[in-house]
Amino acid sequence: MARARRPLERPPVAIDVAPAYEMLMSLVTALDAGDADTYEVGTDWIAEIRSRAGNDLLARLESASLGDPDSFIHLIPLAYDTPAPRDVAAFLAHLRKTDADEIRLHLVQYYARETRRMTPPSVIQAAIHGGADAQQEFLRTSYADWEPWTQYLRSVFAADGEALKAEIIGALEEWNERVWAPESLTILPILERDAEARREALRELPMEEFIQAATNGVEFVPRPGIERVVMVPSFVNRPLVSFTEFGEVLLIIYPVGDESVSAFTDSPPLRLVRLSKALADEKRLRILRALSDGEKTLMELAETFGVAKTTMHHHMIILRSAGLVSVGVGSKRYRLRTETVPDVGALLSGYLCCAPAVSAAETRPSAPSKARAGG
């Protein structure tokens, strides 16, 4: 009789705040022009920081990212690997000391287990070092049917490593000087406030429950190869959740909680606003109804409702940020969070019945700049 497999031990979880993380995420938000209305920081704020950067710097950042804003998420592990204090200056110094091909390995997500599962590490290394046969094998074995990814890989292969490294460092330095340094004065205290609250919650909740609460619906199950989970709070990435891996470390960039952004009392709770937005669309209501019959993949939902996967993904982001659906880390299966459905009425009743009277003269909640009504 075969022995039952021992359940995997829960990896330790840490909350990590470092200026370099949020600077990189601010670049993702600023350059992700097609999805600007997804970010709760607001389109006005995004337009403002893009204006402050100027067309010349935006063009340099577009070139440094090889046309894909997610390149800056791929650099998050290098920020994690930066020696203390891991501020922007330390991160840039770490990049200067990092071999150019090592940076390109990060760009192609060499340290993610899924990448190495699909393509042997030796092939990835040979591809980065210029091997034509290895490059073709990498393209064939790594999401070959996903054209944006294969085109991105070709761009990384074609780039001169040293020139790309210099371009990345130069563009990051200028972004920090023109845009991030002044913004960080307001944003970093929000991150620190959230991290402090999350550390308190982590002492009281099981790991899986804590991660689902912090991410508002992402489910994590311990799995082989992940020995540590690092939770990175982000203001500029709200309400999105992003993931990256660095060997045995899973980094989860999660949205800071509403209570960390503002304590302003007469505005409706942001979760109520998200719920209202999620439920105001007929198609999203039908998606919830479909999920009440059981879990479904993104592709299944897209085919059921006759929309593109990108359109369905946008709907699922809104539903997940409202706390109505959940999805596993690295999974494409969504489920209805039936346990949160009763919250809709309770949140609305609580706001209508218990909100104090506030004069119009009272100040607005603090935001990273005067234009950020969306944060």
- Please write the tens of the pLDDT for every residue from 74-100: 999 999 999 988 899 999 999 999 999
Dihedral pair phi/psi, residue 324, rounded to 5°:
-95, -20
Instruction: Considering only residues 22 and 310, tell me which one the structure prediction assigns the higher pLDDT.
Output: 22
Nearest to 108 by CA among 244, 228, 235: 244
Does 52 reside within a domain?
A: yes
Distance of CA 18 to the CA centre of its chain: 15
As a whole number of angstroms, the distance between CA 165 and CA 339 comes to 48
In a domain, 361, yes or no: no
Q: Are residues 233 and 280 in the same domain?
A: no
Question: pLDDT band at residue 321, thresholds of 50, 70 and 90?
Answer: confident
Tell me, yes or no, whether 186 and 285 share the same domain: no
Last residue of a domain, one of 205, 223, 254: 254
Task: Kindly state whether residues 215 and 285 are assigned to the same domain.
Answer: no
pLDDT in tens, 179-219: 999 999 999 999 999 999 999 999 999 999 999 999 988 99
Q: Domain count of the chain?
A: 2
Same domain, 210 and 128: yes
Predicted confidence (pLDDT) at residue 361 exceeds the cutoff of 50:
no
The string of DSSP codes covering 183-220 is: HHHHHHHHHHHHHHHHHHHHTTS-HHHHHHHHHTSEE-
Q: pLDDT: is 354 or 284 the higher one?
A: 284
Which class for 51: exposed (0-12), middle (13-18), buried (19 or more C-beta within 10 A)? exposed
Distance, in Å, from the CA atom of 253 to the CA atom of 198, rounded to the nearest integer, reads 13
| Mean local confidence (pLDDT), 315-326 | 87
Q: What is the mean pLDDT of the chain?
A: 87
Q: Does 374 map to a domain?
A: no
pLDDT for position 7: 60
What pLDDT was estimated at residue 183?
A: 95
pLDDT of residue 227: 95
CA dihedral 174→179→185→187, nearest 10 degrees, is -120
Does residue 36 surpass a pLDDT of 50? yes
Chain centroid to Cα 197, Å, comes to 20
The more confidently predicted of residues 223 and 46 is 46
Same domain for 281 and 215: no
Q: In this structure, are 79 and 187 located in the same domain?
A: yes
Query: pTM score, two decimals?
Result: 0.80
Q: Do 21 and 151 fall within a single domain?
A: yes
pLDDT for 373: 27
Residues in Cβ contact with 7 at an 8 Å cutoff, skipping those fewer than 6 apart: 222
Per the CB < 8 A criterion, the answer to whether 261 and 301 are in contact is no
Identify whether residues 266 and 292 lie together within a single domain.
yes
Quote the pLDDT of residue 345: 73
Domain boundary among the residues 233, 254, 275 is at 254
User: pLDDT digit string (tens) for 122-173?
Assistant: 999 999 999 999 999 999 999 999 999 999 999 999 999 999 999 999 999 9
In a domain, 370, yes or no: no
Please report, as a single letter, which amino acid is at residue 259. E
Q: Considering the domain boundaries, does residue 5 fall inside one?
A: no
Last residue of a domain, one of 254, 287, 314: 254
Give me the pLDDT at residue 352, please. Answer: 75
CATH number of the domain where residue 346 is located: 1.10.10.10
3 has a pLDDT exceeding 50: no
pLDDT in tens, 226-281: 999 999 999 999 999 999 999 999 999 999 988 788 654 566 777 788 888 888 88
CA torsion, ordered 62, 63, 65, 68, to nearest 10 deg: 60
Query: In 10 A of CB 316, how many CB atoms?
Result: 22
Looking at the chain, the whole-number percentage of residues with pLDDT higher than 70 is 88
| Range name among 61-75, 107-121, 319-333 with the lowest pLDDT average | 319-333
One domain, residues 292 and 165: no
Please indicate, yes or no, if residue 341 is contained in any of the structural domains. yes
pLDDT at residue 68 is higher than 50: yes
User: Domain containing 289: what range?
Assistant: 262-354
Mark whether 113 and 249 lie in a shared domain.
Answer: yes
275 and 202 fall within a common domain:
no
More confident residue, 363 or 177: 177
109 and 185 share a domain?
Answer: yes
pLDDT mean over 91-117? 97
CA distance 369 to 115: 39
Distance CA 229, CA 245 (A): 9
Strand partners, 246: 249
Angle (CA) 219 225 230, round 5°: 55
With respect to residue 191, please indicate whether it lies within any of the assigned structural domains: yes
pLDDT band at 360 (very low <50, low <70, confident <90, very high): very low
Q: H helices then E strands: how many in the chain?
A: 19, 8
